[in-house]
């Protein structure tokens, strides 16, 4: 017998038929003898609608009232799933964030979970009852509903799994796992059987939109094994007995992955803009003078490349920001011209960051050289490069994104034959 938290995303609970299908997945696990708690998202599209209503009511709305409105989508689906389970003879009860309670900080709209008391849920496990928990929400120190940021029900699920010591957190979604790259770009992409938390964190931050990044961080910190799988497979065709391996991708510690590939996947992030400051004075405090004001303006700077100056007096600084922030960033930098002291500001929207990810890179030489040669052979110019222990990120022009992704995917032998 295992203790499992099952999380269902918006497309999995999009209407009553889909909710009935979800209930069958839950019943299957119960019938196999497992202890189950469920976390649900709102019906797909619902949260967007609610967010838009708050904006229409008043563009400058109170964040606590925003939370009161947008958290309601999950309240509906938790109740509907509990009713559906009961009608199928499964003992079930809905739970809102405040009832557990899931305690958050005071950052309404983007709150962080501070603590969860899993005791009441564990009691329900023991009497064989299924707790159906509204994802995305908790209760703040002001005793009011707080939501966790868009996509936050993944994080709710992993946090709950940690608090009840679950063996696994199953994330049911509309895809059947994590792929070596985006299958819409490369049809030869393959589903990964396993991926380490660290690699998944890179994949998720770089645009593989299967999971909220924070949920992966939480899984990594608390050692919660996460299993990404599809709710669209026939619930009756799945074997849930001990030892059976259903289709999906397990996100786990690297020591659980026996056959580690050197490269695990290729990710890409679109809509990046490059900014270069030319002939910046090469003296202490310059980076702080550039990136301080950008950070104060809440602009997220990503790749940063600084040249070593030729004569020790002037250097170049290149970095990327999201395209949507380019105008604001330019404005901030122009205002800071005196304190930074650059001669030319150049910018270029329409960049893409393509990344090669793999834990095996730590112990294998030549991974980066292979990527550079591969792009050179295709005539793709590299604008900037950054690396970490398990990742090489390369900035290129948008028009080459698909070619680069496909070529890199092939050069590391990731495709199906
Ligand atoms: N319903 C929320 C959203 O759309 C939370 C979630 O689905 O994870 O952002
Ligand atoms: Mg989601």
- Compute the distance from residue 394 Cα to the ligand 2 centre, in Å: 27
Could you tell me the pLDDT band of residue 244, with boundaries at 50, 70 and 90? confident
Q: Residue 151: CB within 6 Å of ligand 1? A: yes
Distance of CA 389 to the CA centre of its chain: 20
Mutate to test the pocket of ligand 1, among 22, 47, 102, 211 (most ligand atoms within 8 A of CB): 47
Strands 35-40, 3-8: pairing kind = parallel
- Compute the distance from residue 272 Cα to the ligand 1 centre, in Å: 25
Distance CA 230, CA 233 (A): 6
Entry pTM:
0.90
Q: Which atom of ligand 1 is nearest to the CA of 149?
A: 9
Q: Tell me if 118 is assigned to some domain.
A: yes
Give the pLDDT confidence score for residue 384 in this predicted structure. Answer: 92
**Structurally, how many domains does the chain consist of?**
2
Q: Residue 147: CB within 6 Å of ligand 1? A: no
Q: Which ligand is nearest to the CA of 67?
A: 1
Q: Which atom of ligand 1 is nearest to the CA of 156?
A: 8
Distance CA 135, CA 147 (A): 9
Spatial strand order in the sheet of 145-147: 113-116, 102-104, 137-139, 145-147
Tokens of 3: 């203790």
Give a three-class secondary structure readout of 240-298: CCCCCCCCCEEEECHHHCCCCCCCCEEEEEEEEEEEEEEEEECCCCHHHHHHHHHHHCC
> Do 229 and 275 sit in the same domain of this protein?
no
- Compute the distance from residue 227 Cα to the ligand 1 centre, in Å: 19
Distance CA 144, CA 53 (A): 20
Q: Tell me if 400 is assigned to some domain.
A: yes
Give bridge partners of residue 344 from the DSSP assignment.
278
Give the domain range for residue 75. 3-255
CA 152 to each of CA 155, 215, 372, 400: distance values in angstroms, whole numbers, following the listed order: 5, 8, 37, 33
Percent of the chain with pLDDT over 90: 85
86-144 pLDDT per residue, tens: 999 999 999 999 999 999 999 999 999 999 999 999 999 999 999 999 999 999 999 99
Q: Which ligand is nearest to the CA of 209?
A: 2
116-126 pLDDT per residue, tens: 999 999 999 99
Distance CA 171, CA 227 (A): 6
Nearest to 409, CA basis, from 185, 211, 250, 121:
185
> Do 107 and 46 sit in the same domain of this protein?
yes
Helix (H) and strand (E) counts in the chain: 13, 18
Who's near 289: CB < 8 A, 6+ residues apart? Answer: 336, 339, 340
- The mean pLDDT of 313-322, rounded to a whole number, is 92
Could you tell me the pLDDT band of residue 38, with boundaries at 50, 70 and 90? very high
Distance CA 199, CA 256 (A): 14
Mutate to test the pocket of ligand 1, among 136, 149, 171, 210 (most ligand atoms within 8 A of CB): 136
> Do 33 and 161 sit in the same domain of this protein?
yes
Q: Residue 42: CB within 6 Å of ligand 1? A: yes
358-411 pLDDT per residue, tens: 999 988 889 999 999 999 999 999 999 999 999 999 999 999 999 999 999 999
- Compute the distance from residue 41 Cα to the ligand 1 centre, in Å: 6
399-412 pLDDT per residue, tens: 999 999 999 999 99
Who's near 324: CB < 8 A, 6+ residues apart? Answer: 271
Who's near 227: CB < 8 A, 6+ residues apart? Answer: 168, 169, 170, 171, 248, 249, 250, 251
135 in helix, strand or coil?
coil
Q: Residue 47: CB within 6 Å of ligand 1? A: yes
Q: CATH number of the domain that 399 lies in?
A: 3.30.2130.10
Q: Is residue 59 scored above 90 in pLDDT?
A: no
Who's near 48: CB < 8 A, 6+ residues apart? Answer: none
Average pLDDT, whole number, for the chain?
94
- Compute the distance from residue 74 Cα to the ligand 2 centre, in Å: 12
Nearest to 66, CA basis, from 76, 56, 51:
51
Number of C-beta neighbours around residue 149 at 10 A: 15
Mutate to test the pocket of ligand 1, among 7, 8, 12, 42 (most ligand atoms within 8 A of CB): 42
> Do 233 and 309 sit in the same domain of this protein?
no
Q: Residue 10: CB within 6 Å of ligand 1? A: yes
> Do 230 and 277 sit in the same domain of this protein?
no
Nearest to 201, CA basis, from 215, 191, 189:
215
- Compute the distance from residue 218 Cα to the ligand 1 centre, in Å: 17
Q: Is residue 238 scored above 70 in pLDDT?
A: yes
> Do 282 and 137 sit in the same domain of this protein?
no
Could you tell me the pLDDT band of residue 207, with boundaries at 50, 70 and 90? low
> Do 278 and 352 sit in the same domain of this protein?
yes
Give the pLDDT confidence score for residue 258 in this predicted structure. Answer: 81
Q: Is residue 206 scored above 80 in pLDDT?
A: no
Q: Tell me if 228 is assigned to some domain.
A: yes
Q: Tell me if 288 is assigned to some domain.
A: yes
Nearest to 394, CA basis, from 377, 412, 380:
380
Which of 207, 236, 255 corresponds to the end of one domain? 255
Q: Residue 153: CB within 6 Å of ligand 1? A: yes
- Compute the distance from residue 74 Cα to the ligand 1 centre, in Å: 8
Which of 255, 280, 296 corresponds to the end of one domain? 255
Nearest to 95, CA basis, from 32, 29, 164:
164
Q: CATH number of the domain that 29 lies in?
A: 3.40.1160.10
Q: Tell me if 260 is assigned to some domain.
A: no
> Do 227 and 289 sit in the same domain of this protein?
no
Tokens 């608390």 -> residue: 222
> Do 126 and 231 sit in the same domain of this protein?
yes
Q: Tell me if 417 is assigned to some domain.
A: no
- The mean pLDDT of 299-309, rounded to a whole number, is 88
Q: Which atom of ligand 1 is nearest to the CA of 42?
A: 1
CA 266 to each of CA 30, 61, 198, 343: distance values in angstroms, whole numbers, following the listed order: 37, 40, 14, 37
Atom 6 of ligand 1: nearest residue by CA position: 151
Q: Which ligand is nearest to the CA of 210?
A: 2
Query: pLDDT: is 108 or 206 the higher one?
Result: 108
5 in helix, strand or coil?
strand
Could you tell me the pLDDT band of residue 170, with boundaries at 50, 70 and 90? very high
- Compute the distance from residue 152 Cα to the ligand 1 centre, in Å: 6
Which of 197, 232, 255 corresponds to the end of one domain? 255
320-356 pLDDT per residue, tens: 999 999 999 999 999 999 999 899 999 999 999 999 9
Could you tell me the pLDDT band of residue 232, with boundaries at 50, 70 and 90? very high
> Do 191 and 303 sit in the same domain of this protein?
no
Q: Tell me if 369 is assigned to some domain.
A: yes
Q: Is residue 18 scored above 80 in pLDDT?
A: yes
> Do 173 and 285 sit in the same domain of this protein?
no
> Do 109 and 236 sit in the same domain of this protein?
yes
Give a three-class secondary structure readout of 189-241: CCECCEEEHHHHHHHHHCCCCCCCHHHHHHHHHHCCCEEEEECCCCHHHCCCC
Could you tell me the pLDDT band of residue 208, with boundaries at 50, 70 and 90? low
Q: Which atom of ligand 1 is nearest to the CA of 152?
A: 8
Could you tell me the pLDDT band of residue 313, with boundaries at 50, 70 and 90? confident
- Compute the distance from residue 191 Cα to the ligand 1 centre, in Å: 24
Distance of CA 181 to the CA centre of its chain: 15
Percent of the chain with pLDDT over 70: 100
Q: Tell me if 416 is assigned to some domain.
A: no
């Amino acid at each position: 017998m295992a203790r499992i938290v099952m999380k269902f995303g918006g497309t999995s609970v999009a209407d009553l038929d889909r909710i009935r299908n979800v209930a069958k997945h839950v019943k299957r696990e119960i019938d196999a003898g497992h202890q189950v708690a469920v976390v649900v998202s709102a019906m797909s599209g619902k949260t967007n609608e609610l967010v838009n209503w708050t904006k229409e009511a008043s563009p400058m709305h109170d964040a606590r009232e925003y939370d009161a409105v947008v958290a309601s989508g999950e309240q509906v689906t938790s109740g509907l799933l509990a009713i559906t389970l009961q009608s199928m003879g499964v003992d079930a009860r809905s739970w809102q964030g405040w009832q557990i309670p899931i305690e958050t900080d005071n950052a309404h709209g983007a709150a962080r979970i501070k603590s969860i008391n899993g005791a009441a849920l564990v009691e329900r496990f023991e009497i064989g009852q299924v707790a159906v928990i509204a994802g995305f929400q908790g209760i703040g120190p002001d005793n009011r509903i707080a939501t966790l940021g868009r996509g936050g029900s993944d994080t709710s699920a992993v946090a709950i799994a940690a608090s009840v010591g679950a063996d696994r957190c199953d994330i049911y979604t509309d895809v059947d796992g994590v792929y070596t790259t985006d299958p819409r770009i490369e049809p030869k992409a393959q589903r990964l059987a396993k991926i380490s938390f660290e690699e998944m964190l890179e994949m998720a931050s770089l645009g593989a939109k299967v999971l909220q990044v924070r949920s992966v961080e939480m899984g990594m910190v608390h050692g919660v094994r996460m299993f990404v799988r599809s709710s669209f497979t026939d619930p009756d065709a799945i074997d849930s007995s001990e030892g059976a391996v259903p289709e999906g991708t397990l996100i786990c510690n690297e020591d659980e992955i026996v056959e580690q590939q050197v490269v695990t996947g290729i990710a890409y992030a679109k809509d990046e803009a490059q900014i270069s400051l030319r002939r910046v004075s090469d003296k202490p405090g310059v980076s702080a003078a550039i990136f301080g004001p950008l950070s104060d303006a809440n602009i997220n700077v990503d790749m940063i490349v600084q040249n070593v100056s030729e004569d020790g007096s002037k250097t170049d600084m290149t970095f990327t920001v999201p395209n949507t922030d380019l105008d604001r960033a330019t404005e901030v930098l122009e205002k800071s011209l005196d304190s930074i002291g650059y001669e030319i500001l150049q910018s270029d929207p329409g960049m893409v960051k393509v990344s090669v990810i793999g834990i095996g890179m730590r112990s294998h030489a030549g991974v980066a050289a292979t990527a550079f040669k591969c792009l050179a052979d295709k005539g793709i110019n590299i604008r900037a490069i950054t690396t970490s222990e398990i990742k090489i990120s390369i900035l290129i022009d948008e028009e080459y994104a698909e070619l680069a992704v496909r070529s890199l995917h092939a050069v590391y032998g990731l495709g199906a034959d």
